[in-house]
Amino acid sequence: MTPFGARLRVLRAIRGETLKHLAEALQVSAAYLSALEHGKRGSPSAGLVHQVNEYFGLIWDDADDLSRLARLSNPRVTVNTAGLAPDQTALANRIAQTIHRLPPETVAALHAVLDTAAQQAKPRRATARAGIRQR
């Protein structure tokens, strides 16, 4: 299950919505919503996330949070480590090989490390000489 799928399921449960009724309201198939909830489909489009926000009356932080979860909900992640340091490539490979065995508390700890690193990171500048591309 993806983060977006889990949140969608909770929203439906709170409101007592069936998959079929929500699918009709959003003009998508119930099979598609089910696949989103179970992590069998990629991240939903921004348009669908907007529709879900409107349907459930989510605003401000709740709407932003659902959009963030949608961006983090691709069940088939590809990491391109070309041009990165060997230890970065090794880390990406180790995570890919062991993610299914990590206990929830370890996953939470890794999220905390990444959140802290993101807050401490300074914006990168494009440098043609170093071959770094600004994102």
Q: Give the CATH number, domain containing residue 16.
A: 1.10.260.40
The band of 123, judged by pLDDT with boundaries at 50, 70 and 90, is low
Number of domains making up the chain: 2
Question: Both tokens of residue 63?
Answer: 């709407």
d(CA 17, CA 20): 8
pTM of the model: 0.74
Mean pLDDT of the chain: 90
Of 23, 41, 71, the residue that ends a domain is: 71
My answer on whether 17 and 47 are in the same domain is: yes
Shared domain check, 52 and 83: no
More confident residue, 115 or 133: 115
Q: Is 127 helix (H, G, I), strand (E, B) or coil?
A: strand
Q: 7 and 52 share a domain?
A: yes
Q: Which residues of 84-114 are buried (b: 16+ CB within 10 A; e: fewer)?
A: eeeeeeeeeeeeeeeeeeeeeeeeeeeeeee
In this predicted structure, what is the pLDDT of residue 132? 46
Lowest mean pLDDT among 4-8, 64-68, 97-101, 131-135: 131-135
Same domain assignment for residues 7 and 65: yes
Supply 7's token pair.
């949140």
- Count other C-beta atoms under 10 Å from residue 117's C-beta: 9
Assess whether 63 and 14 both reside in one domain. yes
62's enclosing H/E stretch is helix 60-71
Q: Which residue has the higher pLDDT, 130 or 48?
A: 48
Q: Do residues 64 and 89 both lie within one domain?
A: no
Counting Cβ atoms within 10 Å, is residue 34 exposed (0-12), middle (13-18) or buried (19+)?
Answer: middle
> Looking at the structure, do residues 7 and 62 belong to the same domain, yes or no?
yes
CA-derived radius of gyration, the chain = 18
> Which residues lie across from 132 on neighbouring strands?
127
Show which of 16, 49, 71 is a domain's final residue.
71
Q: 106 and 64 share a domain?
A: no
Work out the pLDDT band at 125, boundaries 50, 70, 90.
low
Domain that holds residue 128: 78-135
Same domain, residue pair 61 and 12: yes
Q: Are residues 42 and 101 in the same domain?
A: no
